[in-house]
Amino acid sequence: MDSNLTCLGQTNAITWCQEMYETASRDAGRRAHALRSAGYDVCVSSLGPQLTPMGRIRITMVDIQPGLHANTSFLPPVRIVDGY
């Protein structure tokens, strides 16, 4: 698990996965780089400012496709914050 990265939410449907990160942390770029290095196809996009229990924050989404893998079941783990 990469404890340096903080994921605000993850939806994994086995054939694809989406993760959300606070834009200011730049964790989305680091996660995308690590996943691409591991053979996954990754797209990063801005969701813009969102109202959350943490207040108004800018969110970046990381969309993950299997790439060289059969599916997204065994992604490298990341720390996920519950109830962001």
Contact 9, 84 (CB under 8 A): yes
Domain residues for 42?
2-68+75-80
pLDDT in tens, 44-62: 999 999 998 889 999 999 9
Separation of alpha carbons 45 and 41, rounded Å: 14
* pTM for this prediction: 0.90
Contact 78, 2 (CB under 8 A): yes
pLDDT in tens, 36-47: 999 999 999 999
Give the count of domains, the chain. 1
